[in-house]
Amino acid sequence: MSLRKQATSGMMWTFAQQFSTQGIGFIISVVLARLLLPAEFGIIGMIAIFMGIGGALVDSGLASSLIRTPDANEEDFSTVFYFNILGSILIYFILYLTAPFIANFFDQPILKNITRVYGITFIINAFSTIQLTRLTQKMDFKTQMIVSVPALIGGGIVGITLAYLGHGVWSLVWMRLIQSFLNSVQLWIVTKWKPSLIFNIAKFKYHFNFGYKLLLSGLLDTVFTNIYTVIIGKFFLPAQLGFYTRASSVVRMPVDNISGALHKVTYPLFAQIKDDNERLKKVYKQILQMISFLIAPTLIIMGVLATPLFRFLFTEKWLPAVPYFQILCISGFMYPFHFYNLNILNVKGRSDLFLKLEIIKKILLVITILLSIPFGIYGLLWGMVISSALALSINAHYSGKFIHYSGFKQIKDVLPILLIALIAGALTLTIDRIMINFKVIDIFRIIIGISVGVLSYWAMAVVFKFQSIQDIKTIIIRKYDTNN
């Protein structure tokens, strides 16, 4: 199978996985949002930073090193496997001991036990990290989908049942535990890979030398990505953190569906063509435009229809999350571009530069937070947008040097897409205002608004002959020229 055909197949299956898992996950979250209170989601949001730090420490960037190593063998995989297991146990032990301090920091006694139970996912996930890495390296996303969907459904059934029976925030904890367990068990069954009794010090040093820089970068990114949940959880009410996490999760749904699917394919794909800068630039530009073509109209139209959307899906109690959501849509659009720019640095083996850039960006983020926090929660959200824009300019500048594709050229290539998306959003807003005057119910406002936005956007894209349309069609019908 040619590289391009392999990438096409990978994209199809990753899109199928992302849309199925995110779609099912979203349905589960809607049901849970109707059964639980915003404050209960806020409590879970308080420990997000600790779960993220633990997950980054367990992986240590070694999975990325394995993916970019074309001749990785049994010694490589087994060595990293045992390191992940030992690391996960150590991280869980530390988390177990610090749980009382976490509870005291947020003044939420229930967090002590929640943290200790939720943290078990570190150990569960560590048992299947290599299996997942091997599938990703092979671009076998079909198997990943077959595994992830039943695990998600099983966890969702447990979570909804517990929420219905009145177990509150614990329903979210056990939902996550069951999902991780089912996912790990299935990966062991379907991949049929088992570690050998090997731990090669030389192999470990090789992967750790690359991975530790990604680890430090990942830790910085995790801390500062979740710093807003820490600040909101510490200085505001749990309900406000619940509104923030709900708004963020809705923004991330389309972003993770689309960019997450492409991200899984692009990293191993970029790794295979990392020495051909011209080809790498061509593929990167194509993906950049495709991701913009899909995400820009989605977030803009959702932002316009946020009020009827939140009221219909989550009920009136979640309406305070609407302005949070609309602001986060702006930073959400930039989020995928960080991924792909940083992928260039990784496949080029410049994890050292990756780390340096992360440090610079986090310093800027701290300055932004200090300047914006006096303006309350909305100041923090707008500060997030500004910080994201600054970070993106830095990422694009340095990654662009490697493939001669500057940040300015990247903006120039996606600007036409953004402009027609804004026009489609304006048309959607106009129609929605008319429907408000006629007191149209929420479900029809959503259906009509989305129809107007999507059809007008697609029509303009066809008229102006956007290349992304052809790219998407090509992926769907799987007729790439195998000689390209």
The per-residue pLDDT for range 411-421, each reduced to its tens digit, is 888 899 999 99
Of 18-32, 344-358, 396-410, the one with minimum mean pLDDT is 344-358
As a whole number of angstroms, the distance between CA 456 and CA 449 comes to 11
pTM: 0.77
Indicate whether 130 pLDDT > 90.
Answer: no
User: Does position 215 have pLDDT exceeding 80, yes or no?
Assistant: no
Length of the chain as a residue count: 484
In this prediction, what percent of the chain has a pLDDT beyond 90?
Answer: 41
Instruction: Answer yes or no: is pLDDT of 340 > 80.
Output: no
Q: Has residue 298 been placed in a domain?
A: yes
Of 158, 119, 442, the C-alpha closest to 306 is 442
Q: Supply the pLDDT for residue 400.
A: 79
The mean-pLDDT minimum among 176-180, 210-214, 381-385, 476-480 falls in 476-480
Per-residue pLDDT, averaged over 386-405, amounts to: 85
Is residue 384 included in any domain, yes or no? Answer: yes
Reading the block at residue 241, the tokens are 């953190």
Give the tens place of pLDDT for each residue, 220-271.
777 877 888 889 988 888 999 999 999 998 998 888 777 665 665 666 667 6
Which has more pLDDT, 345 or 293?
A: 293
Domain that holds residue 166: 3-477
Mean pLDDT of the chain: 84
Token pair 């063509």 is found at 273
Instruction: Assign 3-class secondary structure to the chain.
Output: CCHHHHHHHHHHHHHHHHHHHHHHHHHHHHHHHHHCCHHHHHHHHHCHHHHHHHHHHHHCCHHHHHHCCCCCCHHHHHHHHHHHHHHHHHHHHHHHHHHHHHHHHHCCCCHHHHHHHHCHHHHHHHCCHHHHHHHHHCCCHHHHHHHHHHHHHHHHHHHHHHHHCCCCCHHHHHHHHHHHHHHHHHHHHHHCCCCCCCCCHHHHHHHHHHHHHHHHHHHHHHHHHCHHHHHHHHHCCHHHHHHHHHHHHHHHHHHHHHHHHHHHHHHHHHHHCCCCHHHHHHHHHHHHHHHHHHHHHHHHHHHHCHHHHHHHHHCHHHHHHHHHHHHHHHHHHHHHHHHHHHHHHHHCCCHHHHHHHHHHHHHHHHHHHHHHHHHHHHHHHHHHHHHHHHHHHHHHHHHHHHHCCCHHHHHHHHHHHHHHHHHHHHHHHHHHHHHHHCCCCHHHHHHHHHHHHHHHHHHHHHHCCCHHHHHHHHHHHCCCCCCC
pLDDT (0 to 100) of residue 313: 92
Question: Could you tell me the pLDDT band of residue 351, with boundaries at 50, 70 and 90?
Answer: low
Instruction: Report residue 11's pLDDT band, with 50, 70 and 90 as the boundaries.
Output: low
Asked whether residue 484 is assigned to any structural domain, the reply reads no
Residue 304 pLDDT class (50, 70, 90 cuts): very high
Mean pLDDT of 52-80: 78
Q: Is the pLDDT of residue 477 over 90?
A: no
Output the pLDDT for position 10.
52
In the numeric block, which tokens belong to residue 107?
A: 């003044």
- In this structure, is residue 367 part of a structural domain? yes
Instruction: Give the pLDDT of residue 191.
Output: 86
> How many Å separate Cα 27 from the centre of its chain?
18
The token pair at 302 is 């959702």
Average pLDDT of the segment spanning 380-392: 90
Residue 80 has what pLDDT? 84
Q: What is the mean pLDDT of residues 345-358?
A: 75
Q: Is 482 contained in some domain?
A: no
Residue 102, pLDDT > 80, answer: yes
Does the structure show a pLDDT above 80 at 344? no
User: For residue 315, is it within any domain?
Assistant: yes
Q: Is residue 483 part of a domain?
A: no
Q: Predicted confidence band at 19 (pLDDT cuts at 50, 70, 90)?
A: low
- In this structure, the number of other CB atoms found within 10 A of the CB of residue 470 comes to 10
Section 172-198 average pLDDT? 91
Alpha-carbon radius of gyration of the chain: 22
From CA 154, how far away is CA 136, in angstroms rounded? 23
* Measured distance CA(10)–CA(265) in Å, rounded: 6
pLDDT-wise least confident of 18-22, 24-28, 217-221, 251-255: 18-22
Arithmetic mean of pLDDT, 199-218:
79
How large is the average pLDDT for residues 289-308?
A: 93
When pLDDT is averaged across residues 331-338 and rounded to a whole number, the result is 83
Residue 474, pLDDT > 90, answer: no
Q: Region 370-379: what's the mean pLDDT?
A: 90
Quote the pLDDT of residue 21.
Answer: 74
- What's the CA gap between 462 and 449, in Å, rounded? 20
Residue 250 placed within a domain: yes
Q: How far apart are the first and last CA of the chain?
A: 12
Q: Is the pLDDT of residue 67 over 60?
A: yes
Indicate the residue type of 142.
K
Task: Pick the more confident residue, 168 or 224.
Answer: 168
| d(C-alpha 267, C-alpha 369), whole Å | 31
| CA–CA separation, 269 and 283 (whole Å) | 9
| Percentage, residues of the chain above pLDDT 70 | 88
Number of domains in the chain: 1
